[in-house]
Amino acid sequence: MNLDKLDHRSIAVGDVVAERTFSLTRDSLVRYAGASGDFNPIHYRDDVATSVGLPGVLAHGMLTMGVAVQPVVDWLGTNGWVADYGVRFTRPVVVDPLEGASVTVVAKVGVVGEGTARIDLTVTYNNETVLGKAQVQVTFR
């Protein structure tokens, strides 16, 4: 695939356009909390997370959503832009204090239109889907 000429004519429904695994660590959560202002202690304190019934410290949902769209942004490059993006949060990403968490994203073409495409994301952690109906609408230049 020639990325210099990437447009709706160079892709087909079912094409996998990007695949990437992201490693999230407790440091990642601290950095995201600082950038977003979301200092909810369920994102950095095991005792608080478990006291409210969670299995452990969770990655911020918006952090998970943000890393999930990154492979599409990288694939598009300067050939277009993300016009719309939506997900349903289906499962939390628990970030182990030592091992962290690995989130895998597979981006596949779902629909091709005139100058546009819908890219469907499969986002998994521990072999379970964590974002449902994750769809990115892109517009080509």
Domain range holding 118?
A: 12-24+59-140
Question: Bridge partners of 139?
Answer: 81, 116
**What is the reported pLDDT for 4?**
62
Say if 41 falls within a structural domain. no
Nearest to 65 by CA among 132, 115, 112: 132
CATH number at residue 69: 3.10.129.10
Contact indicator for 120, 107 with CB cutoff of 8 Å: yes
**What is the reported pLDDT for 65?**
98
Per-residue pLDDT of the chain (141 residues; tens, 9 = 90+): 445 679 999 999 999 999 999 999 999 999 999 999 999 999 999 999 999 999 999 999 999 999 999 999 999 999 999 999 999 999 999 999 999 999 999 999 999 999 999 999 999 999 999 999 999 999 999
Say if 1 falls within a structural domain. no
pTM of the model: 0.92
Distances 121 to 18, 68, 128, 130 between C-alpha atoms, Å: 9, 8, 13, 11
Say if 125 falls within a structural domain. yes
Domain count along the chain: 1
